[in-house]
């Protein structure tokens, strides 16, 4: 057993290193920065959100700016998606939200397309223009059955 | 005919009794741990024994596990053209499962066995009896600091293990196999969630730490007085604690989805 002051120092260093590791896991990897009420909260209604899941990324021009915070069924029986977006963004009121897929088999995300209005969106605002998910099954269905000669082909 | 059935009954009976004794011992540790004086110096010494001395093996195993995991999973993912999600797969595997479980097993072998042997030796040389004669509660003086130290050290060790393992898989994925560092990092950061993954990892580690401390101190405390019996209780600590960790891991995942 070493003498006490050295041992105390070593234990202190160990605890510090452990706490740093926990901090790295929680803040760097766990994405603590977007969490909570910190961000700009926007609401968007979609007719079909496809396979969009909670915490899916929200992107502008492919750059990640937030996450999907909540998905629920609205009173008008459309999907109501709450987005938690970086507070520093200045988004015009005519911003469009679209559910897109990364690649053919990739995960789904919400793409924001900023508009041209002078007026800016505030937390809790609803996005007026939305674009639903494109479902591959529906596309294939239209291709197969939409065609008059479909049955024969 | 009645012989084997009676033997089975006797085994079940002694198993349940053992479980009950262990539970009561756990309650005694809890009560002793909450009662002042808190003996911070002894806790600090035990954190040194259980935590700092396990650090080398935990970090070395972490890097090794991360490297081999990165290598194995990379070759599977490449077949599907999705090598870019290496970070996500490795990170989630480590944080949710391998981190707490492997650290638990390592700490059981490194510190749990030492804990059981130390207390077993104290029992064998009648130091525990001596304390009781002097009206010093051995659970309060010897066992509780060890349990507290284990509950503190396990989450810290697990976090260090995971960070080392992620570093190991980064070494293999980015340095050796030439994956883009940004891709690795972003897939890792997108996949890992604080509330479900990181908190679950730390909760598991904390539960495993208390489990190791309970089994090790109980086995040491109830050890026989001969050298062979002390060694048997040390062995049984490692076996019981390892099995308990694996069972609890499944139960926690099944119950709360961590």
Of B26-30, B185-189, B245-249, which one has max mean pLDDT?
Answer: B245-249
pLDDT digits (tens, 9 = 90+) for B24-41: 999 988 888 888 887 788
Residues from chain A that touch B193, judged by Cβ atoms under 8 A, are: 30-31, 55
How far B226 CA sits from the closest chain A CA (Å)?
A: 26
CB contact under 8 A, B163 and A8: no
Is residue A147 in some structural domain?
Answer: no
Tally of CB atoms within 10 A around B15: 10
Number of structural domains, chain A? Answer: 2
**3-state secondary structure at position A45:** strand
pLDDT digits (tens, 9 = 90+) for B103-150: 999 999 999 999 999 999 999 898 888 888 998 888 888 889 999 999
- Return the percentage of chain A with pLDDT > 70, whole number: 84
* Cα A150 to Cα A138: distance, rounded to the nearest angstrom: 15
Burial class (CB in 10 A: 0-12, 13-18, 19+), B207: buried
Range of the domain at A48: 37-142
* Cα B27 to Cα B44: distance, rounded to the nearest angstrom: 22
* Cα A85 to Cα A35: distance, rounded to the nearest angstrom: 10
* Cα A151 to Cα A149: distance, rounded to the nearest angstrom: 6
Nearest CA in chain B to A58: B190
Its sign, for the CA torsion B107, B110, B116, B122, is negative
Domain identity same for A26 and A93: no
CB contact under 8 A, B47 and A28: no
Nearest CA in chain A to B199: A26
pLDDT number for residue B67:
94
Mean local confidence (pLDDT), B79-103: 89
pLDDT digits (tens, 9 = 90+) for B93-115: 999 999 999 999 999 999 999 99
How far A57 CA sits from the closest chain B CA (Å)?
A: 8
pLDDT number for residue A134:
76
Domain identity same for A13 and A76: no
CB contact under 8 A, A31 and B192: yes
Contact between A21 and B162 under an 8 Å Cβ cutoff? The reply is yes
pLDDT at B10 over 80: yes
DSSP H helical ranges for B125-198: 127-133, 138, 144-170, 181-191
Is residue A138 in some structural domain?
Answer: yes
Ranges of chain A whose pLDDT falls below 70: 1-3, 30-38, 103-105, 147-153
Domain identity same for A46 and A111: yes
Domain identity same for A103 and A125: yes
pLDDT digits (tens, 9 = 90+) for B199-212: 889 999 999 999 99
**3-state secondary structure at position B210:** helix
pLDDT digits (tens, 9 = 90+) for A2-36: 567 788 888 888 888 998 988 888 877 766 554 44
pLDDT at B56 over 70: yes
């Amino acid at each position: 057993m070493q003498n006490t002051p050295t041992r105390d120092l070593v234990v202190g260093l160990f605890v510090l290193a452990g706490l740093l590791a926990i901090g790295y896991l929680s803040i760097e990897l766990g994405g603590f920065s977007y969490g909570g009420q910190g961000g700009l909260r926007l609401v968007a209604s979609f007719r079909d959100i496809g396979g969009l899941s909670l915490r899916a990324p929200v992107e502008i021009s492919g750059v990640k700016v937030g996450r999907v915070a909540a998905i629920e069924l609205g009173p008008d029986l459309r999907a109501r998606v709450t987005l938690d977006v970086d507070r520093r963004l200045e988004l015009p009121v005519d911003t469009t939200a679209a559910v897109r897929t990364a690649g053919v088999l990739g995960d789904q995300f919400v793409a924001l397309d900023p508009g041209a209005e002078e007026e800016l969106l505030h937390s809790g605002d609803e996005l007026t223009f939305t674009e639903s998910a494109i479902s591959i099954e529906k596309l294939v269905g239209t291709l197969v059955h939409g065609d008059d000669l479909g049955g024969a082909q | 005919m009645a012989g084997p059935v009676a033997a089975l009954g006797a085994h079940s009976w002694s198993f349940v009794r053992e479980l009950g004794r262990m539970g009561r011992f756990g309650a005694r540790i809890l009560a002793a741990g909450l009662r002042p004086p808190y003996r911070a110096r002894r806790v600090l010494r035990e954190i040194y024994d259980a935590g700092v001395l396990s650090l080398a093996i935990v970090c070395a195993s972490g890097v090794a596990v991360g490297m081999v995991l990165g290598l194995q999973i990379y070759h599977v993912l490449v077949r599907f053209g999705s090598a870019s999600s290496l970070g996500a797969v490795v990170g989630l595997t480590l944080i949710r499962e391998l981190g707490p479980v492997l650290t638990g097993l390592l700490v059981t072998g490194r510190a749990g066995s030492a804990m059981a042997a130390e207390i077993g030796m104290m029992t064998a040389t009648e130091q525990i009896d001596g304390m009781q004669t002097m009206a010093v509660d051995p659970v309060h003086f010897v066992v509780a600091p060890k349990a507290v130290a284990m509950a503190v050290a396990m989450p810290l060790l697990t976090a260090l293990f995971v960070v080392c393992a992620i570093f190991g898989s980064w070494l293999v994925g980015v340095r050796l196999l030439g994956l883009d560092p940004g891709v690795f990092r972003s897939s890792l950061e997108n996949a890992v969630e604080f509330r479900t993954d990181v908190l679950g990892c730390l909760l598991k580690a904390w539960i495993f730490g208390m489990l190791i401390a309970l089994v090790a101190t109980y086995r040491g405390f109830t050890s026989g007085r001969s050298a062979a019996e002390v060694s048997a209780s040390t062995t049984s600590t490692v076996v019981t604690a390892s099995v308990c960790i694996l069972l609890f891991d499944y139960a926690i995942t099944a119950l709360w989805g961590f």
